[in-house]
Structure 1
Amino acid sequence: MIAIDRLRKSKNRTRILRDVSFEARPGRVTGFLGPNGAGKTSTLRVLLGLDRPESGTALVNGRPYASWPRPLTMVGAVLDGSGAHRARSARAHLRWVAASNGLPRGRVGEVLDLVGLAGDARKRAGRFSLGMSRRLGLATAMLGDPPILVLDEPVNGLDPAGIRWIRDFLRTSAAEGRTVLLSSHLMGELAEIADDVVVIDHGQVVAHGTVAEVTGEHRTLEDAFFALTAEAGRTWPA
């Protein structure tokens, strides 16, 4: 479980997180939705111990991420690409990450199979397509078989086949009991994946609940989001 409670953070004297609070629960996909610059990535960076908030807490299974001795066995995260050096092969990258967390080398082959990259294990990361890089990032996140997955814009830029694959992967992960938190500004795609939705705008949560609850009386989730952020005058990408 992920518990975010009253996070506040400023950058260059500008408030970027304003008492952000929400939960992501096991067995469910929670979509963290907002325009570019709304505070999604900042929240995830605090959750993963990459940034410090001015106040508030961000906990994974009741503890800060940094306090877990082998974090990959608790949280699998993908924030920006695959994280692999362009000159390294997929297998070499995964072996290095596995060794850094004390994970068995045999797990590398298992996650390559899991994400459909077994046939490209020797290919250098710099030659990967965007979709393959996304899969390598997920393979890295799954090395420790974690109960929690955190993904930042996982479908951004993917073709329809890649989006379908990611969608199925995340739904399967939640069905297996994992907590899945993913950020996105793509409303239509998120509606196809998420069970629960947290809407953030200008660093503040403006709605949260199930997809049905957030949609409410509106025809679609997209219509609801436009209505929720209309006062702020934001234009959302298609």
Structure 2
Amino acid sequence: MLLVEQLVKRHGSRTVLDRVSFEARAGRVTAFLGPNGAGKSSTLRILLGLDCADGGSALVGGRPYRSLRNPLRTVGSMLDGSGAHRSRTARNHLAWVARSNDIPRRRIGEVLEQVGLADAARVRVGRYSLGMGQRLGLATALLGEPEALVLDEPVNGLDPEGIRWIRGLLRRHADAGGTVLLSSHLMGEVAGLADDLVVIADGRIVKAGTLAEVTVGYGSLEDAFFALTGGGNGVGQ
């Protein structure tokens, strides 16, 4: 389980996260929604040990990310596309990631095949399309066979076939008992995939619950989203 409790983050005098609390449970897909600048990226970065909070906690399986030994074997993440240097090949990128977390080398070929990049494994990342970069980022997240996945806009740049593929991949991961936390701006995709929703605006959680609970009284998830977030005028990352 991924647990965020009373998380506070400030940039100078500005409060970016104001007592943010939610959980992403095992066996379920949780969607983290909010307008640009609402605080999604700040929350995910703190959860993954990339930034520090000014208050509260963010735990992976009951522990801070930075205390995990070989963390990629517990939680796989994708925040900024592939995360690979443009001069590296996909195989080389995955090889150093595997070494850093004591992940068996056999996993490199397995995940490249799984995400559809086996034929482009020795192509430099700088020549990849946006969609291919997204697939490499997913391969990196899956490399350690983690129980939890944390993904920021995972379908960005994917064609319809790719979107359908990742929808199936994430659904299978959750159905097998894994935890999935993802952010997305595609309301239709979220409505068709997520079990639970967490909506953030202006650094505060404005609604959390199942899809049915968040959308009750509204015509669609999109209608609920705009009503809850005031049309997307959040501030601060």
Common topology (TM > 0.5): yes
Unaligned runs of 5+ in 2: none
For residue 185 of structure 1, give the secondary structure of its aligned residue in structure 2. Answer: coil
For residue 144 of structure 1, give the secondary structure of its aligned residue in structure 2. Answer: coil
In 2, the alpha carbon distance for the partners of 1:212 and 1:199 equals 14
Q: How does 1:8-157 map to 2 (within 5 A)?
A: 8-157=8-157
Deviation at 1:235, TM superposition (A): 5.6
Deviation at 1:17, TM superposition (A): 0.2
Question: Is the CA contact 2:36–2:232 (under 8 Å) kept in the aligned structure 1?
Answer: no
Are 1:234 and 2:232 counterparts?
A: yes
What is the number of equivalent residue pairs in this alignment? 234
In 1, the alpha carbon distance for the partners of 2:176 and 2:217 equals 32
For residue 21 of structure 1, give the secondary structure of its aligned residue in structure 2. Answer: strand
Q: 1:157 to 1:107 in 2, by over 3 A?
A: closer
Identity across matched positions, percent: 65
Deviations 1:93-120 (A, max 9, x none): 1111101111111111111111111111
Matching residue's letter, 1:20? V
In 1, the alpha carbon distance for the partners of 2:229 and 2:81 equals 29
What is the TM-score normalised by the length of structure 1?
0.94
In 1, the alpha carbon distance for the partners of 2:210 and 2:183 equals 15
What is the TM-score normalised by the length of structure 2?
0.95
Deviation at 1:191, TM superposition (A): 1.2
* Alignment RMSD (CA, Å): 1.3
In 2, the alpha carbon distance for the partners of 1:201 and 1:158 equals 27
Question: Is the CA contact 1:33–1:187 (under 8 Å) kept in the aligned structure 2?
Answer: no
Unaligned runs of 5+ in 1: none
Deviation at 1:188, TM superposition (A): 2.2
In 2, the alpha carbon distance for the partners of 1:13 and 1:227 equals 28
- Runs of 4 or more consecutive aligned structure 1 residues displaced over 6 Å after TM superposition: none
- Structure 1 partner of 2:175: 175
In 2, the alpha carbon distance for the partners of 1:222 and 1:171 equals 21
